[in-house]
Amino acid sequence: MIPLRDSVRPKSFPFINYSLIILNIYVFYKQLQLFPDELEPFLQTYGVIPAKMAELSPWLLLSGQWEPFLPFVTSLFLHGSLLHIGGNMLYLWVFGDNVEDRLGHFRYLLFYLIAGIAGSLAHIYFNPDSSVPTIGASGAIAGVLGAYFLAFPKARVLALVPIAFFVTITEVRAVFFLFLWFILQVLNGLTALGVGRNAQMVAWWAHIGGFAAGAFFFKLFKKRK
């Protein structure tokens, strides 16, 4: 299912969510300007490489050496294709504004980054030997979905739904839409465990870890009434 819009309107202007979308698109535009021989070292530098990141010690952060951990953030703004960034930004557009409204602007930005990092850590845990750079905002956006799942279960999502050889537009409950999305990630993640770690095309466990982290940290970050 492909979401088109939801039924909840935010009470405040979601400028952080819009800024994240604009920044992702801008970075992807700059990526397109790189030559093939420039793109690979660029992704090796700013993407999350599980085999490399798994060797890092948290003590480096305590000693002020944060540069090796920078890919945990930079990878969230890189994408591999137009379809990749288009799908991610569509989900962020539909669901992110209301989560920002519920958390508050600064908390939402912090929440987004933490969920993305948690997604990367989950991917590293299940693929510690992979040398393939992991890029994309999917883990962070999965965190947004986890928060939306808890905050707006009764909301309705207008979505494109494929039925056999046809596609129809219908409204579905957000709780059903997101539950189905999460189950599909888990099924694909379990299937991917039997695939060569350097052959996986999608970081399914980043989605799963991001969603779980989003649901957990939403409870901590949401504004008190």
Q: Residue 95 in contact with residue 21, Cβ under 8 Å? A: no
Per-residue pLDDT of 113-168, as tens digits, reads 999 999 999 999 999 888 999 999 999 999 999 999 999 999 999 998 877 777 88
Domain ranges of the chain: 2-221
Per-residue pLDDT of 24-75, as tens digits, reads 999 999 999 999 899 999 999 999 999 998 888 878 877 878 888 999 999 9
Average pLDDT over residues 200-215: 90
Residue 166: beta bridge partners? Answer: 163
* Pair of tokens at residue 107: 């908390």
Average pLDDT over residues 196-222: 84
pTM for the model: 0.92
Domain 2-221: assigned CATH number:
1.20.1540.10
Q: What burial letters (b/e) apply to 10-49, b meaning 16+ CB within 10 Å?
A: eeeebebbeebbeebeebbeebeeeeeeeeeeebeebbbb
